[in-house]
Structure 1
Amino acid sequence: MSSTTRFPGMNQPVRGILLICFAVMLFSSHDAVSKYLAGFYPIVMVVWARYVVHTLLMLAVFVPRSGLLVIRTKRPGLQAARALCLIGCSLLFTAGLHYLPLAEATAVNFLAPLLVTALSVPLLKEQVSRGQWAAVICGFVGVLIIIRPGGALFTPAVLFPLGSAFCFGFYQLITRRLSETDSPTTSNFLTGLLNSLLMSAALPFFWQTPQLSHALLMIALGACGMGGHLLMTQAFRHAAPAMLAPFSYLQIVFAGLIGMLFFGHTPDSGAMLGILVICLSGLAAAWRHRR
C-alpha cells in the first residue's frame, strides 16, 4: 500500500514542510520560555506546568471527540516507559537551559536522532550502514567541538543536554514500537497524563506561588508544547518523515535567533562549527536511512 493511499494528504509536501517549520518554531519558543522561567522557579515546577497544561488542552480537544478510547492502550508497560523517558528528557534539558545558552543546548540535544541510529542495532535488531555509523561518530565530534576543553561550555552542566539526548533517543525507539499498536493521540495523551500525575506528586516539595505574568508564561509553555506536537503530527500526514527530517534542524536556527534576541547570546565560531557538524551528521544519517 502506498503512502498516499494510507494518508490522503501525503501528496501535499509543501504544506507538510510549512507545518514542520511552525512546529519547530513552537518548540524553540517552548525552550526559551522554559529557560526564562527556570531562572525564577524550581525546574520541577516549570516541567509540571508544561505537562499539566498540555494534558488539560488534550482533554479539551480529544476527549469530547474520542471519549475513553483515547486512553486505551495494548501496551501499558511501554507507555509508562515512554512517559518516564520523556519526563527525564524534560527535566534534564530544562536543567541544562538554566546553565547553558539556548542554541548550544539545543544542538547537543539533537544528538538524539543519531543515538536512535546507534541504539536501533542492539534494541531493534536493525541494520546500520557504515555511512550511518560515520554520521553518528561525526555527531559526537560536533558535540566535542561545542564543549571543547578550555571553552566556556566545558563544564559538568553539558551533561544535562547529553543525558536529555539519551532519554529522547530511547523515547523515540519506544514510540516506534508503540506505533505498531497504539495511535499517536493515545500515546501523547497517556504520556502527558502520566507525567502530570508524577510531577504533581513532587510539586508540594517545590511549590512557589508564581506572579501573574509568570503564570501566563507557564500556560503558554504547555500550549507551545502541545501545539508543536499537533503540528508535527499533521506534517507527517502531508509528507514523508524522510522529506521533513532536514527541516527539523531549523529548531537550532530558531534557538540561536531567540537566544540572540532575548538572552543576548551569540554562539562563537567554535560553537557554530560544532552546530554545523551535528546538523550535517543528522542530515547525512537521515539521507542514508532514506536510501
Structure 2
Amino acid sequence: MSRNPRAGILLMILTCAVFAAQDGLSRHLAERYGVFMVVMIRFWFLAAVVILWTRARTGSLRAVRSASPLLQILRGLLLAGEICVMVWAFTLLGLAESHAVFAVSPLLVAALSGPILGERVGWRRWTAIGIGFAGVLVILAPSDGVIDPRAAVPLLSAAMWALYGLLTRLAARHDPAATSFFWTGIVGALAMTPAGLWTWTPMEGTDWAVMGLLCVTAAAAHWLLIKAYELAEASVLQPFAFLQLVFASALGVLLFDETVELHVAIGAAVVVGAGLFTLWRERRARLAATRETVS
C-alpha cells in the first residue's frame, strides 16, 4: 500500500476520538456492572473478530502459530490487565485526570527500551523523562499535602501499557502483526472469562446496547489504528496519539461533570511536551542509524 501521511494523520486523529468514546462507554458500564464483566465481554467480541478475520485472510487458523508463544501469552495477559486497571482508574478519578497521568506512558517506553530491547537512551531523553515525571507530580499535587493513593492506578496502567508496547515490538522480531493481533484477542478472552463470570451481574436492556457500542468502538479503533500505520510511519503518527487525552478530557467534562483543575492541565502539558521531545529524539536517532547503514 502506498504511503499517504496526511490521510494517516487524519485516521490517527479519528482513532484517538474513537478510543476516547470507548473510554467513556467503559467508565459508564464499569460503574454499573464492575470492571471484570465489562472487560470480559469486550474481549469476547475481540476474540470473535480476530478468529473471523484470520479465517477470512488465511482460510485456516494454523497461520497464527507463534514462534514465541510464551511471549505472546505474556503480551495478552498484560493488555487484559492494563485495560482492567485503566477502566478502574476511570471509575476512581474520571477520564481527564486518569489520562493526564497515563500520558507518561511514552516516557516509560523510552526508559524501558534500554533494558528490554537493548536500545541506547541518551542523556537528552533521560532529561525529558525526568521532566515528564515532574509533570506527573504537578498533576498529583495535593491541596492538603497528602497525595491521593488512587493516582497510582493510572500510573500502573501506563507502566503496563509501556511494557506491553515493548513486548509487542519484541514479538514483531519473530511473528507478523496478524499473529500478534490474534493472540491478543484469544489470550485476553481466556484470561478475563473466569473473573468476568464470577462477577457477572444481569445487564439491563438499554445497557446491552451500550455494551454493543463499546465492543464495536473497540474493534473499530484497533482497525483504524492498523490502517493509519499502513499509510504513515509510526514516528509521524505517534505525536497525534496525545489527542486522546484532549478528547477523553472533553468527554469527562461534558458527560460526567468532571472538572480539569489548573494543576492537572499544567502537569499534563509538561508530560505531553516531554513525551513529544522524546519521540522527536527517537526519530532523529533512527534516521541517523539509517544513514549510517546506507553509507
Band of TM-score, shorter chain: over 0.9
Percent identity for Structure 1 against Structure 2 = 34
1:147 is matched with which residue: 124, 140, 147? 140
Specify the alignment match of 1:247 in structure 2.
Answer: 240
* Gap runs ≥5 in structure 2: 285-295
Q: Is 1:27 paired with 2:19?
A: yes
Q: Is the 8 A contact 1:27 1:228 kept in 2?
A: yes
SS of alignment partner, residue 9 of structure 1: coil
Q: Is 1:125 paired with 2:118?
A: yes
Which stretches of structure 1, 4 residues or longer, exceed 6 Å deviation after superposition?
none
Q: Is the 8 A contact 1:58 1:189 kept in 2?
A: yes
1:252 Cα deviation from its structure 2 partner: 0.5
Q: Deviations over 1:110-147 (max 9, x none)?
A: 21111111011122221111111111111111111111
1:265 Cα deviation from its structure 2 partner: 1.4
2:222 is matched with which residue: 221, 229, 248? 229
1:69 Cα deviation from its structure 2 partner: 4.0
- Measured at CA, do residues 144 and 195 of structure 1 come closer, stay the same or move farther in structure 2, by a change above 3 Å? same
Backbone CA RMSD of aligned residues = 1.6
Q: Take 2:53 and 2:137, find their aligned partners in 1: how far apart are those partners?
A: 43
1:272 is matched with which residue: 265, 270, 273? 265
Q: Take 2:109 and 2:130, find their aligned partners in 1: how far apart are those partners?
A: 13
Q: Deviations over 1:56-81 (max 9, x none)?
A: 22333332222214532111010011
Q: Take 2:62 and 2:158, find their aligned partners in 1: how far apart are those partners?
A: 31
Bigger shift: 50-59 or 189-198? 50-59
- Measured at CA, do residues 127 and 258 of structure 1 come closer, stay the same or move farther in structure 2, by a change above 3 Å? same
2:54 is matched with which residue: 43, 58, 62? 62
- Measured at CA, do residues 104 and 114 of structure 1 come closer, stay the same or move farther in structure 2, by a change above 3 Å? same
1:153 Cα deviation from its structure 2 partner: 9.7
Alignment of 1:1-291 (within 5 A): 8-10=1-3, 12-66=4-58, 67-150=60-143, 154-291=147-284
1:202 Cα deviation from its structure 2 partner: 2.1
Q: Is the 8 A contact 1:102 1:256 kept in 2?
A: yes
SS of alignment partner, residue 38 of structure 2: helix
Q: Deviations over 1:174-227 (max 9, x none)?
A: 000111121222212211111111111222320101111211222222221221
Q: Is the 8 A contact 1:54 1:223 kept in 2?
A: no
2:110 maps to amino acid: T
1:104 Cα deviation from its structure 2 partner: 1.5
* Gap runs ≥5 in structure 1: 1-7
Bigger shift: 166-175 or 120-129? 120-129
Taking structure 1 as the reference length, the TM-score comes to: 0.93
- Measured at CA, do residues 285 and 58 of structure 1 come closer, stay the same or move farther in structure 2, by a change above 3 Å? same
Q: Deviations over 1:150-169 (max 9, x none)?
A: 27993221111111111111
SS of alignment partner, residue 249 of structure 1: helix
Specify the alignment match of 1:4 in structure 2.
Answer: none
